[in-house]
Amino acid sequence: MKKILLTCTLLGGIASANAQCFIGGSAGISYYNEIFSSAFLPTIGYEIDDKWAVGMGIGFETYDEESAFDLMPFLRYNVWNNETIFFDLKAEDNIYINDGTTAQNIGIAPSLRCRFAERWEAAADVGFLGVNICDGESNFDFSAKSTNLLLSIFYKF
């Protein structure tokens, strides 16, 4: 047991030597099927290495005169980068809680990131492919998010 614990501690230390934490947030607006919505989602995350990152967003969303509390854990994989522009795939699980009703979106979201200063990045989710679960019913969801743009700013430390 001690050997396993020591090995896990050493591997965690090696992985964290190249890792960076990031904080930031997203703000977005949407107008789709005559419904206006807005969202604010502060985010904290951890870059494990050049390819992988994990994080959590917790925020608030309003839509069609209603509001919801949002939780968004995610796993991000960097598919392509040229040191300034990045193309990511994010596996995310958006959970919306409103008056005891819970809705959930589980899927993959392509994202574009741009480093505009040494420690600052901007990002935009440009689509979603996954499943929407609401009131016990699940529906396939695919969108290019032309009507639903979510912009994010992150600071790495």
Percentage with pLDDT > 90 across the chain: 20
pLDDT (tens digit, 9 = 90+) per residue, 102-144?
888 888 888 889 999 989 999 988 888 888 888 778 888 887 6
- Round to whole Å and give the CA distance between 68 and 39: 9
Task: Provide the residue ranges of all domains of the chain, joining segments of one domain with +.
Answer: 20-156
* pLDDT confidence of residue 18: 52
CATH of span 20-156: 2.40.160.20
Lowest model confidence (mean pLDDT) among 28-37, 54-63, 80-89, 145-154? 145-154
Whether 146 has a pLDDT exceeding 60, the answer reads no
User: Distances from the Cα of 141 to the Cαs of 5, 31, 103, 117, 130, in angstroms?
Assistant: 42, 17, 13, 35, 5
Q: Which of 133, 139, 74 shows the shortest CA–CA distance to 108?
A: 74
pLDDT (tens digit, 9 = 90+) per residue, 53-76?
999 999 988 877 778 888 889 999
